[in-house]
């Protein structure tokens, strides 16, 4: 008998989804209770994950198609915490647009379910199932504000392109299956060798599909449009949570089934990384919409995360995970600020709307200052350490070119972050924004800003947690 | 357990800034904020003076060392001072309170935020000078960009945005290569602790590239020709207090970095690249002096003179002679005092006339004599007249240079003449001549606080000009040991 306790988080979250769906259908005006119950469900799932799986070093279930190890537990916890925070700060935004419905939390829960299935998958089929579950929920979420043209457009674009990439991914999976005779990652790992040229196609297809999901250049085209069109809270979800899951799968694919084929994929990852870093930095310069700008900045941040993965070392993987964790916090803080730009039920998302913010909203501006300098990677803020760890891992492998290109592109990226700071601090002020924000929004902003600001005092804790992850 | 005196020096301004953060911000004369800031910085100055008195001048090893684990098994938070760094710390703590007194007239809005920025800046600058770990050094070195960017950008002049961006991006671009070098050093030697690195030494085959990476950062910060162009812009647009901090202390970070890291860690590469430094320094001395001659903006003129003076400093450091390095350190301290004083004197008339153009002025001596006398003193100190601290530095540097390379020394000496030319010509045009501009007749002489600041700066300039012994005694042993270490490294190659 399998130890079902290990998949208790997945089981619990599926049951909650079904229960909430039934509750939502049969009870009138149940938006609020659904919201609260789903928050509760995520919290319980997180607690279960910590309790049941955090101490497990490596266990497999269901004919080795699901793996529970320190990587999957940690990433699940980050996913759940991210999902929780998104949900908690969404409500006032949704109420403004009159889309505060039961579907929203349920869709978020289903996509989280898809992601945690993905994260602990050790089998092509399980992986694909999780991927599709999360993607389908995300398509609907992108169009969630369906009365707005941009939102529908975003959803459609995302659906078409994402379906294409899923197709490529599936084709890659079938090629890999054809050569190895199994869908199990461990078995594939033993069967594959680099002499099969057609196999390279399989790997490339899979990597392309995954690169699409994390929006790495040159498979990033969808990101700016989708990020701009989707409701802001959904954009926040897009920039944080699916990336964590996709990154985990990336790590899993590269370092379990394809471990022996490093020569084949290392160059691809290095290319994706360099292209994303440079393109993300350069393309963001001309943006006027904050959400588009965040899309490009997230592309360049993904570039740094991939730089860690390209090293083919445990330190590299750990540094990528640290990077993505710190990035999640910075991103959350940035979106909290964005959600505070509200005046009489209207949300503002242009960079020029930030003009002279420091005069009327000194505290909010100070938070933005810290967040933006951190995103730019200026010490002593958390963003610097994220980059620092990645480059330590990169330089350990003597990949000087990657490190120098990466650091030079931080200078380019610094320019557009500075531009926002300039607009906030040096330009003429505009009208005041409303200040009656929900408590959760203020709380998340304060906590995340303090984390960014004071990370340098206790940098060891995060490293300690992450250092348990040893894939290779 | 010793009292962590260096950490308290670093932390105290931040604590002061926190206090300020919770005071009420109001426009105009915000006395509470000002007194809190002043109190903090004066206490910091007193602590640093105590540090100097309890400093043991007979040894070159680091003192007041604090060593704490920061990132497990990787980076230690390590700070300490030796004869070279202690003077820079005192310079920092001495200049900052003067800056704070001077903000009376120049900063009109958001005084509290300005003072917070200055205090945070002070703490980072002290951090740079006492860091004994490369990563800690880098952190402080880069973190200083944030407050300086804001100081120039928020409280600066008309082209402040352009200047702030230029300052930030230039310096950041220079520094990222240094970060690559620091991480590489970690992988080559297994540590980033400077003291340990001095003992282990770095393999010769890596030294040249690493030296260049550090050089790229320090050259921008110094600034050396041809990457000096950010400096005139930043100086001109920054508010007076910002220019003073920039000229007096920020530029010295690079000179200090050259001595501590380039010479200390890469002795062989330093020998290899000495011709490069000589060339760039000589070009800086001659070329920027000529540019300074042609300036019509007083602040710009002083900014270019800073580049020329820093050219002397880099020249002196890489003579690798006792006199040269000692001269460079004294020149840096002296330039810190003199350039601060010159920017403040320009600030005084700028606050009254709102013009930095030389042509606005002329004949000031007949209306504001006190000002003219002090300005005279600082101008003479800037050109290195015997009896002022500027002379000691330049003289020692040229002595070192003559020992090492005759031609370079001769060309550099021409620079001294040019230096006299532009500063005296500036003085002549501003202070002497006929009083043509009618508005100037209403100009008032120095008020009490300005008089106080300028006298505070004049006193050490004159004192160390006549009696440089305290300075030389403090740095002597450290410099001797640095050169000995350098020579043993060269010999063992």
The predicted-structure confidence for A189-219, as pLDDT tens digits, reads as follows 887 776 677 788 888 899 999 998 888 888 8
pLDDT at position A330: 93
- B71/A460 CB distance under 8 A: yes
Q: How many CB pairs under 8 A join A and B?
A: 78
pLDDT at position A16: 93
Is some CB atom of chain B closer than 8 A to the CB atom of A388?
yes
What's the domain range around A468?
Answer: 263-472
Tokens of A253: 């694919």
- B176/A410 CB distance under 8 A: yes
Is some CB atom of chain B closer than 8 A to the CB atom of A455?
no
Cα B79 to Cα B6, B74, B133: the distances in Å are: 7, 16, 7
Whole-number Å distance between alpha carbons of B435 and B366: 8
Please check whether residue A77 lies inside any domain of the structure. no
- B165/A463 CB distance under 8 A: no
| Domain tally, chain A | 1
Whole-number Å distance between alpha carbons of A286 and A296: 10
For residue B294, give every residue at least 6 positions away whose Cβ sits within 8 Å of its Cβ, in sequence order, or none.
none
Q: Using the Cα atoms of residue A174, residue A180, residue A182 and residue A183 in order, give the sign of their dihedral.
A: negative
Please check whether residue A459 lies inside any domain of the structure. yes
Q: Which of A271, A321, A279, A319 is nearest to A296 (CA)?
A: A279
Residue ranges per structural domain of chain B: 266-493
Residues 414-433 of A with CB under 8 A from B: 414-415, 418, 421-422, 425-426
Q: Which of B242, B469, B445, B448 is nearest to B352 (CA)?
A: B445
Whole-number Å distance between alpha carbons of A209 and A217: 12
Tokens of B222: 């110094």
Question: What value of ipTM does the predicted structure carry?
Answer: 0.90
Is residue A61 packed enough to be buried (19+ CB in 10 Å), middle (13-18) or exposed (0-12)? middle
> A358 phi and psi, to 5 degrees?
-65, -20
Mutate to test the interface with B, among A411, A421, A465 (most CBs of B within 10 A): A411
Is residue A92 packed enough to be buried (19+ CB in 10 Å), middle (13-18) or exposed (0-12)? middle
B187 contact residues in A (CB cutoff 8 A): 395-396
- A392/B183 CB distance under 8 A: yes
- A415/B143 CB distance under 8 A: no
Please check whether residue A310 lies inside any domain of the structure. yes
Please check whether residue A267 lies inside any domain of the structure. yes
- A422/B177 CB distance under 8 A: no
B124 Cα to chain A: minimum distance (Å)? 10
Q: Are B262 and B254 in contact (CB under 8 A)?
A: no
pLDDT at position A303: 92
B186 contact residues in A (CB cutoff 8 A): 392
B179 contact residues in A (CB cutoff 8 A): 388, 391, 407
pLDDT tens for chain A, 472 residues long, are 678 888 888 999 999 999 999 998 888 888 888 889 999 999 999 998 888 887 787 888 888 888 888 888 899 999 999 999 999 888 888 888 888 888 899 999 999 999 999 999 999 999 999 999 999 999 999 988 888 888 888 889 999 999 999 999 999 999 888 888 888 888 888 877 766 777 888 888 999 999 988 888 888 888 999 999 889 999 999 998 999 999 999 898 888 888 888 888 888 999 999 999 999 999 988 889 999 999 999 999 999 999 999 988 888 999 999 999 999 999 999 999 999 888 888 888 888 888 888 888 888 999 999 999 999 988 889 999 999 999 999 998 888 899 989 988 999 999 989 999 988 888 888 888 888 888 888 999 999 999 999 988 888 888 888 888 887 7
Please check whether residue A111 lies inside any domain of the structure. no
Whole-number Å distance between alpha carbons of B429 and B375: 13
Whole-number Å distance between alpha carbons of A143 and A151: 5
Q: Are A204 and A171 in contact (CB under 8 A)?
A: no
Whole-number Å distance between alpha carbons of B283 and B223: 12
pLDDT at position B1: 47
> B75 phi and psi, to 5 degrees?
-120, 135
- The segments of chain B whose pLDDT lies below 50 read 1
pTM over 0.80: yes
pLDDT at position B106: 66
B160 contact residues in A (CB cutoff 8 A): 426
- A403/B183 CB distance under 8 A: yes
Is some CB atom of chain B closer than 8 A to the CB atom of A401?
no
Beta bridge partners of B69: B76
Chain B interface with A: residues with Cβ < 8 Å: 25, 70-72, 135, 138-139, 142-143, 145-146, 149-150, 153-154, 160-161, 164-165, 168-169, 172-173, 176-177, 179-180, 183-184, 186-187
Nearest by CB to residue B153, choosing from A362, A414, A425, is A425
The interaxial angle of helices B469-492 and B322-353, nearest 10 deg, is 130
pLDDT at position B429: 86
Whole-number Å distance between alpha carbons of B339 and B361: 20
pLDDT at position A447: 92
Please check whether residue A60 lies inside any domain of the structure. no
Q: To which H or E segment does residue B306 belong? A: helix B298-317
Please check whether residue A200 lies inside any domain of the structure. no
């Amino acid at each position: 008998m399998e130890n079902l306790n290990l998949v208790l988080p997945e089981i619990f979250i599926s049951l909650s989804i079904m229960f909430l769906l039934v509750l939502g259908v049969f009870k009138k005006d149940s938006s609020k209770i659904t919201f609260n119950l789903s928050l509760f469900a995520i919290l319980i799932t997180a607690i279960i994950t910590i309790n049941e799986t955090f101490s497990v070093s490596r266990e497999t279930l269901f004919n080795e198609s699901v793996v529970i190890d320190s990587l999957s537990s940690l990433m699940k916890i980050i996913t759940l915490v991210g999902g929780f925070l998104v949900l908690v700060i969404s409500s006032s935004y949704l109420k403004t647009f009159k889309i505060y419905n039961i579907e929203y939390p349920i869709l978020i829960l289903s996509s989280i379910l898809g992601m945690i299935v993905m994260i602990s998958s050790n089998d092509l089929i399980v992986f694909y199932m999780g991927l599709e579950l999360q993607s389908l929920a995300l398509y609907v979420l992108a169009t969630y504000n369906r009365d707005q043209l941009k939102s529908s457009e975003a959803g459609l674009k995302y659906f078409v392109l994402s379906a294409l990439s899923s197709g490529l991914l599936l084709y890659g999976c079938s090629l890999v299956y054809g050569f190895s005779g199994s869908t199990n990652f461990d078995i594939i790992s033993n069967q594959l060798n680099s002499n099969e040229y057609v196999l390279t196609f399989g790997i490339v297809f899979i990597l392309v599909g995954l690169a699409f999901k994390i929006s790495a250049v040159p498979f990033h085209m969808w990101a700016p449009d989708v990020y701009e069109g989707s409701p802001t809270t959904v954009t926040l979800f897009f920039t944080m949570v699916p990336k964590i899951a996709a990154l985990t799968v990336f790590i899993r694919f590269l370092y379990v089934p394809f471990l022996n084929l490093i020569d084949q994929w290392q160059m691809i990852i290095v290319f994706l990384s360099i292209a994303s870093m440079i393109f993300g930095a350069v393309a963001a310069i001309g943006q006027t919409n904050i959400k588009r700008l965040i899309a490009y900045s997230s592309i360049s941040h993904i570039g740094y995360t991939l730089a860690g993965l390209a090293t083919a070392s445990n330190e590299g993987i750990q540094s990528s995970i640290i990077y993505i964790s710190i990035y999640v916090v910075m991103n959350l803080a940035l979106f909290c600020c964005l959600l505070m730009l509200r005046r009489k039920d209207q949300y503002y998302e242009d960079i020029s709307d930030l003009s002279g913010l420091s005069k009327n909203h000194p505290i909010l501006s100070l938070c933005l200052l810290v967040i933006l300098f951190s995103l730019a990677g200026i010490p002593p803020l958390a963003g610097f350490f994220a980059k620092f760890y990645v480059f330590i891992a990169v330089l350990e492998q003597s990949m000087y070119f990657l490190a120098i290109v990466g650091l030079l592109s931080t200078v380019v990226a610094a320019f557009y972050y500075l531009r926002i700071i300039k607009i906030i601090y040096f330009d003429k002020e505009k009208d005041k924004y409303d200040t009656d924000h929900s408590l959760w929004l203020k709380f998340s902003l304060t906590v995340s800003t303090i984390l960014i600001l004071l990370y340098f005092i206790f940098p060891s804790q995060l490293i300690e947690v992450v250092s348990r992850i040893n894939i290779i | 357990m010793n009292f962590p005196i260096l950490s308290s020096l670093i932390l105290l301004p931040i604590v002061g800034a926190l206090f300020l953060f919770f005071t009420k911000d109001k426009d105009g004369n915000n006395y509470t904020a000002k007194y809190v800031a002043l109190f903090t910085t004066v206490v910091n100055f007193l602590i640093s003076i105590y540090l100097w008195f309890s400093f043991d001048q007979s040894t070159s090893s680091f003192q007041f060392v604090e060593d704490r684990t920061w990132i497990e098994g990787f980076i230690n938070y390590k700070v300490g001072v030796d004869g070279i760094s202690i003077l820079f710390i005192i310079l920092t703590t001495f200049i900052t309170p003067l800056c704070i007194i001077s903000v009376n007239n120049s900063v009109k809005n958001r005084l509290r935020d300005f003072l917070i920025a200055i205090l945070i800046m002070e703490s980072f600058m002290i951090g740079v000078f006492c860091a004994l770990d490369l990563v800690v050094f880098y952190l402080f070195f880069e973190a200083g960009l944030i407050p300086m960017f804001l100081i120039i950008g928020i409280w600066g002049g008309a082209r402040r945005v352009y200047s702030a961006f230029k300052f930030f991006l230039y310096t950041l671009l220079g520094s990222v290569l240094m970060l690559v070098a620091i991480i590489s050093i970690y992988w080559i030697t297994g540590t980033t602790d400077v003291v340990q690195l001095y003992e282990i030494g770095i393999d010769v085959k890596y030294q040249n590239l690493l030296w260049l990476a550090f050089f790229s950062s320090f050259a921008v910060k110094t600034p050396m020709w041809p990457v000096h162009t950010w400096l005139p812009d930043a100086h001109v647009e920054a508010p007076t207090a910002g220019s003073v901090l920039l000229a007096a202390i920020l530029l010295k970070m690079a000179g200090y970095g050259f001595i501590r890291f380039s010479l200390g860690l890469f002795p062989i590469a330093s020998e290899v690249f000495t011709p490069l430094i000589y060339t760039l320094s000589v070009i800086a001395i001659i070329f920027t002096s000529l540019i300074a001659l042609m300036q019509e903006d007083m602040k710009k003129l002083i900014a270019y003179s800073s580049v020329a003076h820093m050219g002397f400093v880099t020249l002196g450091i890489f003579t690798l002679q006792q006199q040269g390095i000692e001269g460079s350190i004294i020149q840096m301290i002296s330039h810190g005092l003199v350039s601060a004083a010159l920017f403040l004197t320009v600030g005084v008339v700028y606050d009254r006339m709102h013009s930095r153009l030389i042509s606005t002025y002329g004949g000031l001596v007949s209306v504001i004599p006190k000002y003219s006398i002090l300005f005279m003193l600082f101008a003479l100190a800037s050109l290195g007249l015997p009896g002022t601290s500027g002379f000691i530095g330049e003289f020692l540097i040229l002595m070192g240079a003559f020992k090492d390379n005759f031609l370079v020394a001769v060309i550099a000496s021409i620079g001294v003449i040019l230096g006299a030319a532009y500063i005296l010509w500036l003085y002549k045009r501003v202070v002497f001549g006929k009083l043509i501009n009618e508005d100037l007749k209403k100009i008032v002489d120095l008020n009490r606080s300005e008089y106080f600041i300028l006298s505070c700066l004049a006193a050490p300039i004159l004192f160390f000009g006549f009696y440089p012994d305290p300075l030389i005694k403090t740095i002597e042993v450290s410099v001797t040991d640095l050169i000995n270490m350098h020579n043993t490294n060269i010999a063992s190659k």
